[in-house]
Structure 1
Amino acid sequence: MIQVGILLTKQYKLLSVAAILDVFETANRFHTESGINAPYKLTFLSLDGQIDGFFNDYEIRRINNEETYNLILIPAFTTNDIKNAIAENQAFIPWLNRQYQHNAEIATVCTGAFLLAATGLLDGKVATTHVDACGAFAASFPAVNLKSDKTVTQDGKLYTSGGATSSFHLLLHLLQNHCGKDVAIRAAKIFAIDMDRHNQSYFSSFQPTRHHNDELVASAQEKIERNYQDVATIEEMIKDIPSSRRNIVRRFKQVIGITPIEYLQQTRIEAAKKLLEQTAQQMTEIIYNSGYNDPKAFRKVFRKTVGMTPTQYREKFQAR
């Protein structure tokens, strides 16, 4: 039987814990109905051994160094203040390292990847997280090989998943590894999950940081957002800003995490996505209104950024 430890971290997201329970309990039911021993033993783990009323039917243990688990699951966090959430859960970090050293698999749901990355175990390994948290993740953990477009990653014994329904893709992946493809397919049908969705890029939205005190960078952001349809070069963007090209690019990348040209590109693609979702404009109009003159270049950038063609995006997300 696979010993599964589900972390009840400080500020855990209830929905992600419920998904874990639902999928593994379903797999256990498949086996017991067939007269086979259930594959998973589920235990909740917390820093103080306490559990709230949602999970009173389950065993709860306080983490300790004597007990080891085959699989550890880290749920998403409810907060946007991930730095504070990691600080509140600091005691899990050495424990997770010890579990990994004792051959445990560790899997994270959505922003739970931040806690795993804080252990250092993901350094040099591939990972993903919620698509809109990828910028903060990359800035906090540059040694991790972040795959922001991926729904699920596996690197040895470490697993991560993207946001929301991507947790089900992670759990189905684990079922397939532990119980075989037939069980995973059967569970996918129960939960109505398309097993072949491997990309989450098209769910992203460009939400650049504004919580900084660099007035020069803030001015450049404002100019790009106000003139994205017209400007084409860095020189045009910064011509009224009292700074050299080299200095503005350096400071912009340091504060925002991307270059001014990348910021312009992301702003234009986000504008195009909104036009595709909310208007009936022809594609040539959308290309022009989002700041592009070359349809071929637009389609190439759009597909690279979003993970699908503009037409596919419109078909998927346009309001009817």
Structure 2
Amino acid sequence: MKQIGVLLSKNYKLLSVAAILEVFETVNKFYATAGDELPFELNLLASHETIENQKESFGYQLQSIKDVKQLDLILIPAFTSDNMHETLQANRLCVPHLISQYNNGASIGTFCTGAFLLGASGLLNGKIATTHVDASDGFAIAFPEVNLKADRTVTQDGRLYTSGGATSSFHLLLHLVQEFCGNEMAIKIAKVFAIDMDRDKQSYFSTFQPSRNHNDELVASAQQKIESNYHDVTTIEELIKDIPSSRRNIVRRFKQVTGITPIEYLQQTRIAAAKKLLERTGQQMTEIIFNSGYSDPKAFRKVFKKSVGMTPSQYREKFQVR
């Protein structure tokens, strides 16, 4: 029987914990119905401070992450807070115990923004990971030594697992069920929860949310110029020619603050504009290409598919408001 610990971190997302428990409890029910030994024992973990005020949750007795026995797998749910610095500070005392459990053989899985806590442990350094697609820029800045795969739904690197946002959590749960219980049980769970087993990317759900939480006026000026003129220019030099700084200095500071280069920022701004037009208008594809700042249809389709994970036509078919 695998010992699974679900971490009730501070600011955990209720839906994330509920999904984890529901899937593993359903697997146990299948085994119980067949008269077989249950594959999982679920343990809810929390800080000592939390347990002093709350003895149980979700129908389980809470256990201190400090004193819990050795586990096979620890799962870190998504966070409700968007202020990851404060959230990580609030949960900093959990980090040494995560490291200790991992060093003693436990696997660790994270859901959505729960990856930030695992990133803070240093265990992901040099390894691949994913997180909610809209939190990926912040993650990349906070943990530059992690090989972030922002478009991936699920990653596994040794005994470390991560998943993207929202319903991607179910894909990681399905992956874990398949690993521990086999393909037949994974298919049963996929049917119960209506999980699309073939979805491996989350990039088409992304929303370009450029960083504004900085005090660099030069970078802010460059951002404003890109966002206001993305459909009229062909080079970054045209956009930054009036900014009183060298191109090299602008590019360096821009990437340091936003996590991406000005040309990548321009590209993402254009793709975000194209996605809105595909979702909300009936414009012909040639109009959308032009209004997004592209002149070469072939180049546009290539960049769009690389960035979004599907062709512009497929995106319109999937997301157009009708």
Normalising TM by the smaller chain, what interval? over 0.9
Give, as a single letter, the amino acid of the residue that structure 1 aligns with 2:251.
V
Q: In structure 1, what residue type is equivalent to 2:183?
A: K
1:52 to 1:302, Cα distance in 2 relative to 1, 3 A: farther
The answer as to whether partners of 1:124 and 1:143 remain within 8 angstroms in 2 is yes
Unaligned stretches of 5+ in structure 2?
A: none
Instruction: Find 1:84's aligned residue among 83, 86, 101.
Output: 86
| TM-score (norm: length of structure 2) | 0.97
Give how far 1:65 is off.
4.8
Instruction: Give 1:20's aligned amino acid.
Output: I
Misfit runs of 4+, over 4 Å:
50-54
Q: 1:203-282 counterparts in 2 under 5 A?
A: 203-282=205-284
Secondary structure (helix, strand or coil) at the match of 1:91 reads: helix
Please give the alpha-carbon distance, in whole angstroms, between the structure 2 residues aligned to 1:126 and 1:241. 37
Q: Is the 8 A contact 1:71 1:105 kept in 2?
A: yes
Query: Partner amino acid for 1:92?
Result: C
Question: 1:297 aligns to what?
Answer: 299
Match of 2:99 in 1: 97
CA RMSD of aligned residues (A): 1.3
Report which stretch shifted further, 53-62 or 98-107.
Answer: 53-62
Alpha-carbon offset, residue 55 of structure 1: 2.3
Closer/same/farther in 2, CA of residues 51 and 12 from structure 1, 3 Å limit: farther
| Structure 1 length-normalised TM | 0.98
| AA aligned opposite 1:211 | N
Structure 1 residue corresponding to 2:69, chosen from 45, 67, 70 = 67
- Compared with structure 1, are the counterparts of its residues 66 and 27 closer, same or farther at alpha carbon in structure 2 (3 Å cutoff)? closer
Tell me the residue number matched to 2:14: 14
Identity of aligned residues (%): 67
Contact 1:46 1:60 in 2 (8 A): yes
Counterparts of 1:307-318 in structure 2 under 5 Å? 307-318=309-320
Partners of 1:51 and 1:60 within 8 A in 2: no
How many aligned positions are there?
A: 320
Amino acid at match of 1:189: K
Residues 56, 62 of structure 2: 8 Å contact kept: no
Structure 1 unpaired stretches of 5+: none
Q: Give the conservation status (yes or no) of the 8 Å contact 2:305–2:311.
A: yes
Structure 2 contact 79–114 (Cα < 8 Å) conserved: yes
Where does residue 126 of structure 1 map in the other structure? 128
Q: What do residues 96-119 of structure 1 show as CA deviations (whole Å, max 9, x unaligned)?
A: 111011111110010111101111
CA contact (8 A) 1:131 1:204 kept: yes
CA distance in 1, matches of 2:29, 2:303: 46
**Residue 310 of structure 1: CA displacement?**
0.3
Q: Contact 2:47–2:66 (CA<8 Å) still a contact in 1?
A: no
Per-residue CA deviation, residues 107-152 of structure 1 (Å, 9 max, x unaligned), is 0010111101111111111100000000011111111111101000
Q: Check 1:160–1:56 CA distance in 2 against 1; reply closer, same or farther (3 A cut).
A: closer
Q: Tell me: CA distance 1:13–1:261, structure 2 relative to 1, closer, same or farther (3 Å).
A: same
